[in-house]
A and B are shown apart, each in its own frame.
Chain A
């Protein structure tokens, strides 16, 4: 039990501060893209959210492998916390993508390879969270979700490279060469803010999971 580490509180403060600065710069300081106009500012949410989800699912992968090798419940809780926060970020990616697609592409949604694989990635990790609800046995729950977590992460490079491998409506990834420097910096700043936010939320969620596990254990003895 005990209080959460003060480091986590600082992490939250830093995330909030950087998000405010990043949003202010993204909304009011940097000029919008010459061709798309104001709607391009969605990039500062859409792309950082997508990348943060990718990082989150990579963490799920790490935690899942660690659990299978070491059978340490902390690794399982870490993976579960990262998956839950990752699902929020991939959902944010899908929603901001739709909002961006309508005014630029002309449609909210189309089943091109990028959008389809992203929707599938979202579905698999929603499934991951659902599987965790199926079993009361902590070890079995952890084993099954670790397998799904590992297989789910394999989709991340497929999602990322879908725009390179296949014909899509979605444009290929931007790079420092295709983006002017002030837009690039704003983009990276917001990515950093999202990473901090993710770390904060995952740390809080993992702590909650630890308390839940302790409670489960105590109830097992009491009853």
Chain B
């Protein structure tokens, strides 16, 4: 089987990830997820507590990673912000995967006019910049996480549906599918019970890579002030808030969320690529 995940140019270089890098990235992913889950318990202080005495403070015992322009504790905001920053991409990935697999599988299995309609419409979405789509929807629906998540999910759907379509097309040519048809199983049963589970690892690898992209896109939207409400701690929002800090010569509260975003995206990318490679190796 040929595997072709969709990648953005800059990150394609990370494909040749070696074992130690993969393990480090997997570890980082787990760490971030764990931090997000446990954030309310491990955050040292209230992320929105304003401490005007410590505005733009450097690292100290009271504020391990310093504080921002409003004197809010950066570490706490990073930890709590991990929740919003991860739940958004998760929504994007879950929705785009489920819908993308459904669309791709239906297009490949039924073929004919359905395939043409579905493929053309996903290509239409492809041609439209995802971020622009998101901005459009957010301006119509106003603040809140749901609108940008839905918008990006639609924008990401073609990545999954195109991959699924080509995988299902290859898979359905395999004799075992014909064998099940002859046995009297219905097409839907065969597709759900055998074909989709067989292609799942590849699709999940693509979704893992998409997770990283979605995170960066959502952070971008937050940075533009779209989506996440102003007071909710969020990495993208923190970068935005940190702008004034940089102008005043205290870059720490802006650089830290940037760093976390980049590391998380890279880690998800490496892990996803590695999984795809493993599937490819197993199939040979």
A and B held together in a complex: no
Using a CB–CB cutoff of 8 Å, the interface residues on chain A facing chain B are none
Using a CB–CB cutoff of 8 Å, the interface residues on chain B facing chain A are none
